[in-house]
Amino acid sequence: MPDTPPVEDLGDGVWSLPVPIPGNPLGFTYVYVLTGSEGPVLIDTGWDHDDAWDALVKGLARTGHTVQEVRGAVLTHFHPDHTGLTGRLREASGAWLAMHPADIAVTEHLLSRDDDTRRRELADQMRAAGFPADDTAELLAGPRYSPPPVVPDLPLADGARVDLPGRDLRAVWTPGHTPGHLCLHLADGGRLFTGDHVLPRITPHVGQFPLTADAGDPLGDFLASQRIIGDLPGADSLVCLPSHERRFGGLRTRAAEIMEHHEDRLAEILLLLRTTGAATLWETSRGLTWRRPWADMSVRSRHMAAAETAAHLRLTEERGLTTRTGTPDLPRWAAVTGPDAPA
């Protein structure tokens, strides 16, 4: 687990506050503080944990502000390491919470489901993916998923300006990692807050949910978003401030590397299916190369890996490279072959 770096003044009224994620290999989420003429605004809030809240409150004090002075928080996406403290923040300060409408809809959906319902839906998904019964039982017995504590009150559409008087901070919609993921462009400061869309070393997770859904194309959206972000005016002169790891430059080059990684993965999947024949999602996922051998992964990691494989399979369907066979309860994917197969 990486060491948590110190609070840092990045200049021009921008601060980075590393907020810990206890027990998670990511280690921390960067919460960014931007000062404006009528109070500070946060980008993300961090994980819902007492240690995380203490780090946020103490970090804000280092910037010369109290949590009660926070004007609002822009949330890059709905994942709990970014939205977990929204409830405490709203209670302490009355701050507005802004998020893209697509992720607001996801948040509303998650909060409408009780834990038993979510677990039944997860079990159905894993059976349809072909997971062994033992894996399904183990995952269902694990910790419950934590949805965001509250629904954000301000929809923030692509290109919209954030309510931060005295600064020009604008939303850039980059769907893929989640349907409503946002990057934030500080046009008057030459900075881009990339959330989890572009990270300097690791490749952001892109999953298909539900696992065997035959609609949507999150990976296709993600690749299109990488092209959009890489084509921002002056992209390679921007200082990129991600939610994890470290700040970086060379945005266009990094976006191209991420796209190449996914194209390589698509090629690996097609080669596997041409070798093995039609396969379930679990069989396909198990047959791919992962940083850790499939047999050594925790069941939670296998589930995440399968979600990523599912997103790749959806894109191969969209490109006409695979077809879905089997049954709705247990679909299989087969590579399209023959003279009419796409190149």
Query: Do 122 and 153 lie in a common domain?
Result: no
Residue 147: pLDDT band (50, 70, 90) is confident
Query: Do 282 and 188 lie in a common domain?
Result: no
In a domain, 2, yes or no: no
Q: Which domain holds residue 306?
A: 115-143+267-335
End-to-end CA distance of the chain: 42
- The answer for 174, left when phi > 0, alpha when psi is -120 to 50, beta otherwise, is beta
Contact predicate 283/312, CB 8 Å = no
Query: Do 80 and 97 lie in a common domain?
Result: yes
Residue 134: pLDDT band (50, 70, 90) is very high
In a domain, 262, yes or no: no
Q: Is 271 helix (H, G, I), strand (E, B) or coil?
A: helix
Examine the fold and report which residue of 232, 257, 282 is the final residue of a domain before the chain moves on: 257
Examine the fold and report which residue of 229, 257, 285 is the final residue of a domain before the chain moves on: 257
In a domain, 343, yes or no: no
194 φ, ψ (degrees, to nearest 5): -95, -5
Contact predicate 127/211, CB 8 Å = no
Query: Do 275 and 226 lie in a common domain?
Result: no
**What is the torsional sign of CA 314, 278, 282, 213?**
positive
248 φ, ψ (degrees, to nearest 5): -155, 170
For 184-228, what is each residue's pLDDT tens digit?
Answer: 999 888 999 999 999 999 999 999 999 999 999 999 999 999 999
Query: Do 45 and 72 lie in a common domain?
Result: yes
Look at the chain and report how many structural domains it folds into. Answer: 2
Query: Do 180 and 277 lie in a common domain?
Result: no
Query: Do 244 and 319 lie in a common domain?
Result: no
Q: Which of 239, 233, 232, 231 is nearest to 190 (CA)?
A: 239
In a domain, 89, yes or no: yes
Query: Do 101 and 227 lie in a common domain?
Result: yes
Contact predicate 126/277, CB 8 Å = no
Contact predicate 91/62, CB 8 Å = no
Kindly give the pairing relationship between strand 191-195 and strand 14-20.
unpaired
Angle (nearest 5°) at CA 166 between 162 and 171:
20
Query: Do 79 and 190 lie in a common domain?
Result: yes
Averaged pLDDT, 40-64: 97
Q: Which 3-state string (H, E, C) describes 183-229? A: EEEECCCCEEEEECCCCCCCCCCCCCCCCCCCCCCHHHHHHHHHHHH
The CATH number of residue 303's host domain is 1.10.10
For 62-77, what is each residue's pLDDT tens digit?
Answer: 999 999 999 999 999 9
Query: Do 290 and 321 lie in a common domain?
Result: yes
Query: Do 139 and 224 lie in a common domain?
Result: no
The CATH number of residue 239's host domain is 3.60.15.10
Query: Do 40 and 155 lie in a common domain?
Result: yes
